[in-house]
Structure 1
Amino acid sequence: MQEITLGQGFGQLTFGMSRDEVKKLMGEPSEIEMIDGDEESGAMEAWHYDEEELSLSFEEDGEWKLLSITTASPDVMFEGIDLIGLSQGEVMEQMEVFNLGEFEMEDLSDDGSAKEMVATNNDFSLNLFFENDLLAEIQWGPFFDDEEGEVIWPEEE
């Protein structure tokens, strides 16, 4: 079981690692998805590791450093609890227990049959994605200094 560490990373994966460092640790991804940038941000790469149910994102503007991790694995722990598959109510109760403050809820549903919601907490760079009221994915990144307008990279060990 791997433990999510807010602002830091996941197991040996640490925010700020280069693509080469990640590749040495994780091996070749199952798929690399290139996402073109726009006026506000540069290009982005999403590396998908299907067997681990893990996606890693790198941004051109961030010098191609590891900037976010997304997981759908039920084997991932958050503060010692497996949250994937729990109901939205149960997950949000746990967020209160962890004293993570307020979350903004946004409905991502389209005209399809699945109800999709995201709970976002910018203070902790945390997004919780729900499908049909069950937690499907957890996404987190390094902390961000709003006053300075920059990423707070974890300390290197």
Structure 2
Amino acid sequence: MKDITLGQGLDKVKFGLTRQEIIKLIGEPSEVEAMDGDKDSGAMEAWHFDELHLSLSFEEDCNWKLTSITTASPEILFEGIDLIGLSQGEVMEQMEVFNLGEFELEDLSTDVIPNQSLAANPDFSLNLFFDHDILTEIQWGPFWDDESEMPIWPEN
């Protein structure tokens, strides 16, 4: 597994797969983190695969299908390029080359974790997390149908 495809997934790990299908593809997770839902959304599970530097999220509202992938691995490539470890300026230059449009920048810094920021592009379901101006994580999901407010699952 090494190639990110926006709206699709990570190689054979496609958005819309069930938890059972993921286990068949890559095995059992190192850790499962369950999160209760609130009035706006249902419960969620985040599966962490520590050896792969990968987290997969499944949402109750989407019938427990894969809805998000997060990686911190420098071995996973975005359009053939290893972005993890690059500066925010270098990463944003690459995003311009890929014609991904505008990113919303947000400061996520806290007293406990200073100098954290997020560059989000909702049009492509893409989030880039920076720590001290260095890209540390890439998170992406399926494209969304704004009318139905549901994911557009890739064809498997």
TM value normalised by structure 2: 0.97
Alignment-derived partner of residue 115 in structure 1:
115
Alignment-derived partner of residue 28 in structure 2:
28
State how far apart, in whole Å, the 2-side matches of 1:129 and 1:146 are. 24
Aligned residues: 156
Do residues 16 (structure 1) and 16 (structure 2) align?
A: yes
Do residues 2 (structure 1) and 12 (structure 2) align?
A: no
Q: Structure 2: where are the runs of 5+ without partners?
A: none
State how far apart, in whole Å, the 2-side matches of 1:93 and 1:17 are. 32
Query: Following TM superposition, where does structure 1 have runs of at least 4 consecutive aligned residues deviating by more than 3 angstroms?
Result: none
State how far apart, in whole Å, the 2-side matches of 1:22 and 1:76 are. 18
Do residues 126 (structure 1) and 126 (structure 2) align?
A: yes
Deviation of the 1:2 alpha carbon: 0.5
State how far apart, in whole Å, the 2-side matches of 1:80 and 1:38 are. 38
State how far apart, in whole Å, the 1-side matches of 2:32 and 2:150 are. 26
Deviation of the 1:145 alpha carbon: 1.3
Q: How does 1:1-157 map to 2 (within 5 A)?
A: 2-112=2-112, 114-156=114-156
Could you tell me the percent identity over the aligned residues? 69
Q: Structure 1: where are the runs of 5+ without partners?
A: none
Deviation of the 1:111 alpha carbon: 1.3
State how far apart, in whole Å, the 2-side matches of 1:149 and 1:18 are. 20
* Aligned CA-pair RMSD: 0.9
Alpha-carbon displacement from aligned partner over 1:28-65 (angstroms, at most 9, x marks no partner)? 10000000100010000000000000000000000000
State how far apart, in whole Å, the 2-side matches of 1:119 and 1:98 are. 15
